[in-house]
Structure formats: C-alpha cells, structure tokens
Amino acid sequence: MKKGLIAIGVIIILIIIVYSSVKGSYNGMVAKDEAVSAAWSQVENVYQRRADLIPNLVNTVKGYAAHERETLEGVIEARAKAISVTIDPSKMDAEAIAKFQQAQDGLSAALGRLIAVAESYPDLKANQNFLDLQAQLEGTENRITVERQKFNETARDYNTYIRSFPRNIFAGMFNFDKRAYFEASAGAEKAPEVKF
C-alpha cells in the first residue's frame, strides 16, 4: 500500500513538473511571438509616417516644378504601391518581408529622384516648408533603420527561444514557426559611385 502511494506521488510530481515546463515554455513563446508582432507594427508605423509626409512634399515641389510631372507621378504611384503592401504578423515569412521591402525600396528610389529634381530649383531648395519636410523625411528614414534593427533583434530573440531544446519540441507541437529578418537590399553591399 505504501509503495503504491509513493508511486502515485512520484507520478503526480512528474506530471506537475511536465505541466509547469510546457506551460512556462508555451507562455514564453507566446510572449516573444507578441513581441515580434509589436516590433513589426512599429516598423509599419514609421513607414506609414514616411508615406504620410510624401503628399505634402509632392505638393510643395509641384508648386515650383510643375513641369516635372513624370517624377511627381512616379512618387505618388510608388507611395500607393508601398502602402498597399501589408503583412499579417502571424504569417510573416522571408517572401512576405521581401515583397514589403521591394515596395518600400521603390518608394525610396522615387523619393531620391524627387529630391534630385528639387536640387535643380534654387527657390525650392530655399523654401522653408520644403526644408522642414526634407528634414522630417530624413528623420523618418533614421527611425525606419532603428525600428528595422529592433525588429530583427526581437525576431532573433524569438527564433533562438523557440529553437532551443526542449522548447523546440513544444514550438513544433504548438506551431510556433521561425520568423524572417529584414535583410539588406540587393546591391547594398556595393558603395555608390561618385563622379565629379
């Protein structure tokens, strides 16, 4: 009788230990998964801030460089494409991030052309509204870099957590998948060529 009670007690203790381990791992994975989703939301937030600045910038340039219609329309089209590409954080993979990044790179290129056009107009370059918008845009680009870095750090923390033993077993059981990272755009490793 005593041996039976001891065996039952040991089994109950093992069940409690296993339950606590699974519960702690699962809750940790949920918390880290939510952290990745929150970091992604912040990335989207700063990209949206950039998109929100563009209409004002385009309107300011339009007043000085009305005959640069093709460039202005290119920026507007690139903005529309960039804001139309969204990612569901729960379905985020490398392909989705690459598609998002491609749309954002298109907008960055269009903005670069717009700023280059502005260089041809001394009155525009001296316009305080244009200068303020350009400064805000530069600040937003810095924020984008910071938020992308934070996202990558959060995704790395999550990926490390779910791939560590024994959590990798629970991650597989509960469908916690590895998250993709932001990567540099193709050709980013080459320094731009400057000619005088």
How many angstroms separate the CA atoms of 103 and 51, rounded?
12
Confidence of residue 66 (pLDDT cuts 50, 70, 90): low
Chain-centroid distance, C-alpha 8: 51
How many angstroms separate the CA atoms of 113 and 104, rounded?
14
Break the chain down into helix, strand, coil percent, rounded to 5: 80, 0, 20
Confidence of residue 161 (pLDDT cuts 50, 70, 90): very high
For residues 179 and 89, the answer to whether their CB atoms sit within 8 Å is no
Measured in residues, the chain has a length of 196
Helix (H, G, I), strand (E, B) or coil at 195: coil
- In sequence order, the 6+-apart residues with CB closer than 8 A to the CB of 73 are none
Q: What share of the chain has pLDDT > 70, as a percent?
A: 92
How many angstroms separate the CA atoms of 74 and 99, rounded?
19
Q: Is the pTM of this model over 0.75?
A: yes
pLDDT, tens digit, 9 for 90 and up, residues 112-149: 888 888 888 788 777 788 888 888 888 999 999 999 99
Burial of 50 (0-12, 13-18, 19+ CB in 10 A): buried
